[in-house]
Amino acid sequence: MPNSLRKQIKRVIFRAFGPLLKQIIKVDNRFEYNGIQLSIPDGVFHPRYFTSTKLLLNWINENKVEGKRVLELGCGSGVVSLTASQKGAQVTSSDINPIAVQNLIENAKTNSIELTVVQSDLFAEIPTETFDVILINPPFYPKNPDKVEDNMWFCGDDFQYFKKLYLQLIERNESGEILMTLSDDCDFERIQQLALDKGFTLIEIVRKKGLTEDNMLYRLERVN
């Protein structure tokens, strides 16, 4: 199906069902994954409704993370972090949103799963140790967030999130695996160009085709 038609279908679906979906997400505050019980408060990215989270979960399930130092940058509900920890990884989870951070601390306790949770704007408060694996499901719509919860969607009107992310990865000399999800609803050319400007490239390793959008998992690799 041509991309323009899919975008049109998506627009129609969202116009018809968007407000209802928002209401459903608002009141749907429980989620269960592989025996992990999660509470999902309003204002935290809900993993039930987004394929992007599932791509990260699938990656963890298909790869050996046991014993590895894993960072989930922008953890939202924390289902990805908790799953990695359950599989034996040594996990640090971060989010800019204090509601997500507090909620994950409580979810970890409820499930007796150990991880380190940090409130941080990207790497600002992350310990200086480097990581074997960094998992990112980023916000990618180019708009400035008004409220802290908006960070789940908006990366800044000039893609500031990505500029800062790539710069900090260089500054910290992160040399482990870096995996990032995107969908074909994002401005991939811009996000890729910003990566190239800092000496990275995004290599697609998984594509999940959907009715209204495709979701992809990329590996961020150094170009030189």
Ligand X SMILES: C[S@@+](CC[C@H](N)C(=O)[O-])C[C@H]1O[C@@H](n2cnc3c(N)ncnc32)[C@H](O)[C@@H]1O
List of residues contacting ligand X (CB under 6 A): 45, 47, 52-53, 56, 72, 74-77, 80, 94-97, 100, 120-122, 137, 139, 151-152, 161
Residue closer to ligand X (CB basis): 96 or 200:
96
The CA distance from 31 to 28, in Å, is 8
Residue 81: CB minimum distance to ligand X, A: 8
Neighbours of 100 (CB within 10 A): 28
Determine the residue with CB nearest ligand X: 74
Neighbours of 198 (CB within 10 A): 16
The CA distance from 64 to 87, in Å, is 8
Residue 153: CB minimum distance to ligand X, A: 7
Return all residues near 16 (Cβ < 8 A) that are at least 6 apart. Answer: none
The CA distance from 26 to 5, in Å, is 29
Residue closer to ligand X (CB basis): 96 or 191:
96
How is residue 195 written in tokens?
A: 């990566």
Residue closer to ligand X (CB basis): 152 or 191:
152
Residue 122: CB minimum distance to ligand X, A: 4
- How many angstroms separate the first and last alpha carbons of the chain? 37
Residue 84: CB minimum distance to ligand X, A: 11
The CA distance from 174 to 169, in Å, is 5
Residue closer to ligand X (CB basis): 83 or 90:
83
Is 153 within 8 Å of 139 (Cβ atoms)?
yes
DSSP state of 154: B
Residue closer to ligand X (CB basis): 68 or 179:
179
Residue closer to ligand X (CB basis): 84 or 223:
84
* 123, amino acid identity: F
Residue 130: CB minimum distance to ligand X, A: 18
Between β-strands 133-136 and 177-183, what pairing exists: parallel, antiparallel or unpaired? parallel
Residue 214: CB minimum distance to ligand X, A: 16
